[in-house]
Every structure is written in structure tokens, then in C-alpha cells.
Amino acid sequence: MAVNKPYNNGQWTQARFKGFIVSQLRSATTRWGPKQKVIQNARVSRGLYKCEGCGKVGPPTLPPEKGKSRRIKNIVADHKHPIVTSAGFVSYDEWIDRCFVELDGFQALCHKCHTEKSLGENAGRATTKTLKQENEREYNSWKSMRARCTHSHHHAYHRYGGRGIEICPEWEEFSEFLKDMGGRPLLHTLDRVDVNLGYSKGNCRWATHREQANNRSDNTLIEVGGVSKTLSQWSTDLGIPTSTICGRLSRGDSVEKALDKSRARRTKPPTLDYEEIYRGHLSGLSNEVIAANLGCHKDTVRKIIATKRRSKL
């Protein structure tokens, strides 16, 4: 059976399909010879059956519970070995082997005994539901990963399943995915290291959005001296703002020149102390001398003095 095949025209996941088949098989067991035989063997007299658990004799059905209309089945053909063990679902073959057992694999139990037995078995089993609930963030990642790859109606399907991105067979089970990937750190999402390969233990990691953005399949890579990085990665590594690199490239600079860290930035003019300039002016210093001391132009000094004088009037 193909593992990553989308079922029912892409509307069903494999898990849903699996559940569908298993429930069909389970209802088929009502017509299974040994299962019918064990009930016949439990019959003591007309309308009375003996429970192999408590040894009591009772009718085949009991009156319905309060508020319900269906009578309760009292004598049940029970599997001595549970079909679903604590290890969970293994394979179709094993499931069928466990479900369709011979007469010695069945026992007739009354409703009370059967309920007690089932409750005991279920208590020891970590169900898929609790695993989902306990690892909600990881489960959501797993679920969306499957949706992107297997649901042809998913909005991003063309970038995943649509271009051949597959999920490894082991990760059909959420528990396996969780075991391989571990907990998902805050602000991290599921990321593939090689964007052209599928989802598997070797190709996946939890990554921040920034790490992921650098890894997108539609990113343009800038190559310098044999090293390819995205614009954002070059910017972080060299300490040059992305806007500066973009600006340089759009002005027609070569890639090497655009990523040249040593290129002088436009220096910011020094902040001038207007009060000091004015005091210098009052003490009789010429504009040229003040300008030379402060490292600015004499016209700047002249303008500042003019403004100051106006404000003092």
C-alpha cells in the first residue's frame, strides 16, 4: 500500500482512511463464526447465558439506560487478548490477526465484567487523544505539515505536495514525529533544511521565522567568492543594513562592491553647541577661527550667530 497516497481525491488523510477500513473490519466480525459460536456455547437455557468472568447467569440484553432507547447488550463475545494494545495500532495484518481469532481466543462476558475489563485496558493505554492534547503545539505542526503535503485543496499545496514534497512513512504516526522532533521551542516552526527534499527526521528542524525565511524556495541567493547567502543573511553577518545593500545594487554596483563593509558611510555632521559659538563671537573671535576650532564651515557659524542674535533681540 502506497504510504503517502492522498485518499478519497485528497479529501482524506491516511489516518482517516485507516480508521474507516478498521471500523468496517470490526463490524464484519459480527458475522465471524467463532464469535457467534462462543455466544452459543454460553447459552445455559432458553434466554439465559453464563458469564465466563463472574459465573453469573443472565439474559442476553438488559433494559436501556435512563434517557436512551436501545437495550444494552448483556452477553458479549470478548477478545481475551485486546485487539488494540498499549503499543497502539501496528499494521493491518496484525490488526486482522488480533480481531479474527479462533474460538479459544474468545470468551463470553456479561456487561458488567466486560465494562470493567475494557476500562482496565484503556487506562493503561496512552491514547492518541491525550498525546495530542499534551503536545498541542507539536501536533498542530504535524497536522499542518500533512495538510500542505496531502490535501490538494490546501492553499499552499502547490509549493509542497504539488511539487513532490513528501512525508516519510514513519511520520504517518504523530507519536513517531514527536519522538524524532522533540518539543517545539517558542517562536519556532517546522523547517526543512533542504527545501527540495521531503519531511523526514534527517531533513527537519525547529527554526525561527527568520531562519525559515532565509530558507524559502523562492529566495534569491547572492553569491560572493563561492559563498551563497540570502540578502538577509549577508546583512546580519556583515552588519550592513539590507536597505544599504539593496540601494547599492539598484545603483548598479557590483555584488562585491555592494557587500563591501569597508565602504565609508556618509558621516553625520557634528552637533554644534550654539551657545558656545555665540560666546566665542561675543568675546571677539572671528567666524573663521570659530569654524576652524569646531571643524565646520564659516558660513554655518555665521548663520548660527545671526539666528542667535535675532532670538536675543
Least Å distance between CB 58 and Zn ion?
Answer: 8
Contact string (CB under 5 A) for Zn ion, positions 14-43, x = contact: ------------------------------
Task: Select 53 or 60, whichever has its Cβ closest to Zn ion.
Answer: 53
Among 38, 42, 99, 110, the residue binding Zn ion under the rule CB under 5 A is 110
- What is the enclosing helix (H) or strand (E) of 307? helix 298-312
* Interface segment toward Zn ion; rule CB under 5 A; list 108-116, 189-197, 235-243, 275-283: 108-116
**CB nearer Zn ion, residue 77 or residue 113:** 113
One residue of 77, 83, 99, 113 binding Zn ion per CB under 5 A: 113
Residues 44-83 as x/- pattern, contact with Zn ion by CB under 5 A: -------x-xx-----------------------------
Q: Minimum Å distance from CB 144 to Zn ion?
A: 47
CA 280 to chain centroid? 68
**By the rule CB under 5 A, 96 interacts with Zn ion:** no
Task: Specify the stretch interacting with Zn ion by CB under 5 A; choose among 80-88, 95-103, 110-118, 302-310.
Answer: 110-118
Strand partners, 108: 77
Nearer to Zn ion, 56 or 137 (CB): 56
The minimum distance between CB 44 and Zn ion, in angstroms, equals: 13
Between 50 and 154, whose beta carbon lies closer to Zn ion? 50
What is the nearest approach in angstroms of Zn ion to the Cβ of residue 114?
A: 8
- Calculate ∠ Cα 290-293-297, nearest 5°: 65
Interatomic CA distance for residues 206 and 202, integer angstroms: 12
Nearer to Zn ion by Cβ, of 113 and 277: the residue is 113
Whether 55 contacts 119, CB under 8 Å: no
Q: 152-159: long-range contacts at Cβ-Cβ below 8 A with a sequence spacing of 24 or more?
A: 152/6, 152/9, 152/10, 153/10, 153/11, 159/217
# chain residues binding Zn ion, by CB under 5 A:
5
User: Could you give the 3-state DSSP secondary structure of residue 265?
Assistant: coil
Q: Name the burial class of residue 38, with classes exposed (0-12), middle (13-18) and buried (19+) by CB atoms within 10 angstroms of its CB.
A: buried
Cβ burial of 101 (10 Å; 0-12, 13-18, 19+) is middle
Q: In angstroms, give the least distance from the CB of 79 to Zn ion.
A: 16
Radius of gyration of the chain (CA): 38
**Across-strand partners of 207?**
189
List residues binding Zn ion (CB under 5 A): 51, 53-54, 110, 113
